[in-house]
Amino acid sequence: MTRRKLSFAISLATLAALFTGCHNTHADPRKNSVAKTQDSAEGLKLIRFVKNPDPAPALKINDLDGKPISLEEDKGKIVLLNFWATWCGPCRAEIPDLVELQRKYKNQLAIIALATDEDEPAEVKKFAQKAGINYRIGMATDPLRMEYGGIPALPTSFIIDAQGRVVQKHIGLNDPSIYELEVRALLGLPFDGKVDYFEDTGQVFLKNAERATELPGVNLSKLTPAQKTIALRRFNSESCTCGCKMTLAQCRVNDTGCGVSKEMTAKIVSELSHIPAKTPAPDAQN
């Protein structure tokens, strides 16, 4: 059964999803805290960017008119890469704001929408024309989705700076004013906000979960530094058995509600915490 056919069966969940996102895998978009923007102590909107951002994976796809879409041609502009679907309520809800954002910053911003889990490009094109979409649309492929971390829910948007690096990721319906603040900050324009920087430990790209020294829902406080190092190594080398095809570390970051990865990581911590710490050998007696 296709996703579009499934969408009718889950239509009762649409209103709730408007404030979170349409599930695309097992992850819960409400658990994604990095993209949530808060007020700073000064009362300004606090936006967050990755401190040392990774380059955005190449797209290598065509738009709905058959013309190649490339991030290279948009170097120097800010890119908002939006994974969406015509059947997704939150995706449809944010379209008017994206249209306005593209209109307002047409020479400095490129919005690229990647239709996900759709049957026919012609149907997507028909929807886009009716919705008045003024930005480019391509069809997301499975390999491309994996390059961008699997896309746990729709919409999922990546903010790419003028150097082609991913500086932020938003899952679920986002406050449109936040997109504009981010665009203005990256363009060096005045904006009513403040920028904070964070280390990507899997919140933007799951592969970076290996950098994490702490994981959601995992208590490492009872371990010695050496045991903690071993635990983190195991979290990044052993796979979760929930069916996500991720490491334990990646699953904990991607879906904090996963009981399987929570139980498996807790078991590893318990095993290591019962390993007695090595004591130094006594000095040799003369």
Element (H, E) at 181: helix 176-187
Domains of the chain: 3-198 (3.40.30.10), 212-273 (no CATH)
- Tokens 């911590």 correspond to 269
Please answer whether residues 83 and 156 qualify as being in contact, where contact means their C-beta atoms are separated by less than 8 angstroms.
Answer: yes
Whether 22 is a known active-site residue: answer: no
| C-alpha of 111 from chain center | 17
Task: Give the phi and the psi of residue 70 in degrees, each rounded to 5.
Answer: -135, 135
Of residues 249 and 27, more confidence is placed in 249
Tokens standing for residue 258: 């996963």
pLDDT reading at 31 higher than 60: no
Helix axes of 89-104 and 176-187: crossing angle, nearest 10 degrees: 40
Stretch 69-79: mean pLDDT: 94
Percentage of the residues of the chain whose pLDDT score is greater than 90? 74
Catalytic residue among 91, 240, 251, 258: 91
Q: What is the share, in percent, of the chain residues with pLDDT greater than 70?
A: 82
List, for residues 187-218, the tens digit of each pLDDT value.
999 998 999 999 999 999 989 999 999 999 99
Of the residues 22, 88, 251, 258, which is catalytic?
88
> Taking the complete model, does pTM exceed 0.85, yes or no?
no
- Catalytic residue check, 251: no
